[in-house]
Chains A and B, each alone.
Chain A
Amino acid sequence: MARAELMDFDEALELFEPVIGLEVHVELNTRTKMFSAAPNPANSEFHGAEPNTLVAPVDLGLPGSLPVVNGEAVRNSISLGLALGCGIAESCRFARKNYFYPDLAKNYQISQYDEPIAFEGSVEVELENGRVFQVPIERAHMEEDAGKLTHVGGSTGRIHGAEYSLVDYNRAGVPLVEIVTRPIFGGEADAPALARAYVSTIRDIVISLGISEARMERGNLRCDANVSLRPRAAAGEPAEPLGTRTETKNVNSFRSIERAVRHEIQRQAAILAKGGTITQETRHWHEDTGTTSPGRPKSDADDYRYFPEPDLLPVVPSRELVEELRAALPEPPAARRRRLKTEWGFTDLEFLDVLNGGLLVEVAETVAAGASPAAARKWWTGELTRLANARDTDAASLVTPAEVAELAALVEAGTLTDRLARQVLEGVAAGEGSPKQVVDARRLAVVSDDGALVAAIDEALASQPDVLAKIRDGKVQAAGAVIGAVMKAMQGKADAARVRELVLERAAGADAGA
């Protein structure tokens, strides 16, 4: 596949206005599936089950089987709709979306078509640079997830070149809410960051509602990004019509959402600038190369033949239920952010650092687990973000807030230095266990035995008589060389401040003893 030609981002922005639209699929964490009583693998308790062990007849589309709606999933969907500022339908229905694909057990997906449960909302999203956007929500509807395909025999594990595929239907029927925005205008150069911040905000919302595990690396939250460009109208001229859009699928981390939108803007700009046309199509995001590749072109083959699902009845939420769920809504993310910023005492910059990393929830949970806000921020936005970037993933997928709090406590207690703590984090991220387990296994604790330190100091002083002389002359800063040597000898597992104290003490002692 030839690498697509890209236009410089700033140049692209000069010529075109980017318009984005985002579709976010949220897997609900109910105990059972949307339409069957089989355990839901998007609930942590059942995650990672062996293939085809979480299936009831309807999840396999067995002849004669029938769906029954999970009432809890409906309530969760209504709560989510309300949190998105949406209206809740007085009556809505499920519909069948018909298409053949081997991961779709019935070869139709039960979804909602012209009657979604929630519609017309708005979500406040704040960017790194402080810009605040109201992202318009078109609808949020209920549907079911498909099974999982594993392609075997190809060199990359992708579809192309595979000899055969394996199907696991555990995920078939997992309750989904699909949230669809209206086209978002005015993002301009911030469009990629806006896309990222929007998904991050949705994640905050579903976590605060407690309705999804929201782990992107597990696919609990998935984003499809629609991007189109329209030429800038000359001054005084009417706006140009919207350009043809592409839909980039498989964008499964905050970082890649931003990268994918940016990439698509640059790619489309390069084509349009040369007088080419954009094909309306689905494109696949490749995390490894940071590029998109074309999938199926949209065509009349996408005739989904929607019709009302005859096996299910209308959902008519009572106004009492809607008001009850509205009253139980958690603090809206924007208000919550303002409150946390004050409580934590962060500067604007510090707080935005957390927000833009999509780390608000992580920091909050780390603070709740006992860490100081400063420590929680430092670890999440610093070392963990660096580790995550190096691995092309999100920090939240590496460690849990409880582990970070545990680490912060070890640092606080003097058991770890920052440098040691970084090594511990790496161990935790590598799956070596909790911070304490990693400290033990890697023997990373600070040496607090003065005897061992004194021995090392005496040796260092003895080998550097000139330094000793300088210290005796009152040139205390010369102690640095000795401290360095001692830290090296202790493999970093010593508290530098204590070493300094002891060096000065021993230097004086050596003098007295001479």
Chain B
Amino acid sequence: MSEINAEQVAHLANLARIALTEEEIEHLTAELRQIMQAVEKVSEVATPDVPPTSHPIPMQNVFRDDVVGDVLTVEQALSGAPESDGSRFVVSAILGEEQ
């Protein structure tokens, strides 16, 4: 299959929002190549006639009644926040959305 390159790894890091260093990207590219080579083995037996399994124990239609339950208090909700204004979470400016 495809040979993963540093540019791809940088793109993946961006998708995953991890500001990897150049050095990490280089290192990871080599490792991922090796790992992908090993895991590509799955394609040997994953033929079209085999259905995929996403849940190990097959169940279906697990629903909740539409009844209000417990909520967190504002204090609890914000307790772990790096920054808040007492009622909302504070994040730095969002750019790149509007120009």
Closest chain-B Cβ to A28's Cβ sits at a distance in Å of 10
Known: A100-B17, A159-B98, A295-B98. A164 touches B93 (CB 8 A): yes
Q: How far is the CA of A39 from the CA of B97 in the complex (A)?
A: 30
Is B55 a contact partner of A313 (Cβ separation < 8 A)? yes
| Of B72, B88, B98, the contact of A60 (CB 8 Å cutoff) | B72
Residue of B11, B55, B93, B99 most packed against chain A (CB within 10 A): B93
In the bound complex, residues from chain B placing their C-beta under 8 Å from that of A312 are 62
The verdict on A168 contacting chain B, using a C-beta distance below 8 Å, is yes
Encoded as 1 (CB less than 8 Å from any A CB) or 0, chain B from 37 to 74 comes to 00000000000000000110001111111111111111
| Of A51, A55, A284, A295, the contact of B71 (CB 8 Å cutoff) | A55
In the bound complex, residues from chain A placing their C-beta under 8 Å from that of B65 are 71-72
Closest chain-A Cβ to B68's Cβ sits at a distance in Å of 5
Q: How far is the CA of A32 from the CA of B65 in the complex (A)?
A: 9
Q: How far is the CA of A294 from the CA of B65 in the complex (A)?
A: 42
Q: How far is the CA of A149 from the CA of B93 in the complex (A)?
A: 11
The count of residues in chain A whose C-beta lies closer than 8 Å to any C-beta of chain B is 61
Encoded as 1 (CB less than 8 Å from any B CB) or 0, chain A from 441 to 483 comes to 0000000000000000000000000000000000000000000
In the bound complex, residues from chain B placing their C-beta under 8 Å from that of A284 are 98
Interface size range of chain B in the complex: 35 or more
Is B71 a contact partner of A39 (Cβ separation < 8 A)? yes
The verdict on B15 contacting chain A, using a C-beta distance below 8 Å, is yes
Q: Which residue of the partner chain A has the closest CB to B14?
A: A301
The verdict on B85 contacting chain A, using a C-beta distance below 8 Å, is yes
Known: A30-B66, A162-B93. A52 touches B74 (CB 8 A): yes
Is A164 a contact partner of B62 (Cβ separation < 8 A)? no
The verdict on A160 contacting chain B, using a C-beta distance below 8 Å, is yes
Beyond A162-B93, A166-B89, 13 extra complex contacts between A and B, CB < 8 Å: A37-B67, A39-B68, A55-B77, A56-B69, A62-B80, A159-B95, A159-B98, A160-B95, A160-B98, A166-B85, A167-B89, A169-B77, A313-B61
Q: Please, could you name 29 A-B residue pairs with CB atoms under 8 Å apart, sorted by A?
A: A1-B99, A31-B66, A32-B66, A37-B70, A38-B71, A51-B87, A52-B74, A53-B71, A53-B77, A55-B71, A55-B72, A70-B64, A72-B66, A100-B17, A102-B89, A102-B94, A151-B93, A159-B94, A159-B98, A164-B90, A165-B91, A166-B88, A166-B89, A296-B97, A301-B14, A310-B55, A314-B60, A315-B60, A316-B61
The verdict on B28 contacting chain A, using a C-beta distance below 8 Å, is no
In the bound complex, residues from chain B placing their C-beta under 8 Å from that of A315 are 60-61
Is B72 a contact partner of A313 (Cβ separation < 8 A)? no
In the bound complex, residues from chain B placing their C-beta under 8 Å from that of A296 are 96-97
The verdict on A50 contacting chain B, using a C-beta distance below 8 Å, is yes
Known: A31-B68, A150-B88. A71 touches B63 (CB 8 A): yes
The verdict on B78 contacting chain A, using a C-beta distance below 8 Å, is yes
Is B74 a contact partner of A53 (Cβ separation < 8 A)? yes
Closest chain-B Cβ to A1's Cβ sits at a distance in Å of 8
Which residues A140-162 have CB closer than 8 A to chain B?
A: 149-151, 153, 158-160, 162
In the bound complex, residues from chain A placing their C-beta under 8 Å from that of B66 are 30-32, 70-73
Closest chain-B Cβ to A11's Cβ sits at a distance in Å of 29
The verdict on A207 contacting chain B, using a C-beta distance below 8 Å, is no
The verdict on B21 contacting chain A, using a C-beta distance below 8 Å, is no
Closest chain-A Cβ to B89's Cβ sits at a distance in Å of 4
Encoded as 1 (CB less than 8 Å from any B CB) or 0, chain A from 1 to 45 comes to 100000000000000000000000000001110001111000000
Which residues A157-186 have CB closer than 8 A to chain B?
A: 158-160, 162-169
Q: Which residue of the partner chain B has the closest CB to A150?
A: B88
Q: Which residue of the partner chain A has the closest CB to B52?
A: A308
In the bound complex, residues from chain A placing their C-beta under 8 Å from that of B99 are 1, 160, 293-294
Q: How far is the CA of A62 from the CA of B92 in the complex (A)?
A: 20
In the bound complex, residues from chain B placing their C-beta under 8 Å from that of A38 are 68-69, 71
The verdict on A329 contacting chain B, using a C-beta distance below 8 Å, is no
Is A316 a contact partner of B60 (Cβ separation < 8 A)? yes
The verdict on A507 contacting chain B, using a C-beta distance below 8 Å, is no
In the bound complex, residues from chain A placing their C-beta under 8 Å from that of B71 are 38-39, 53-56
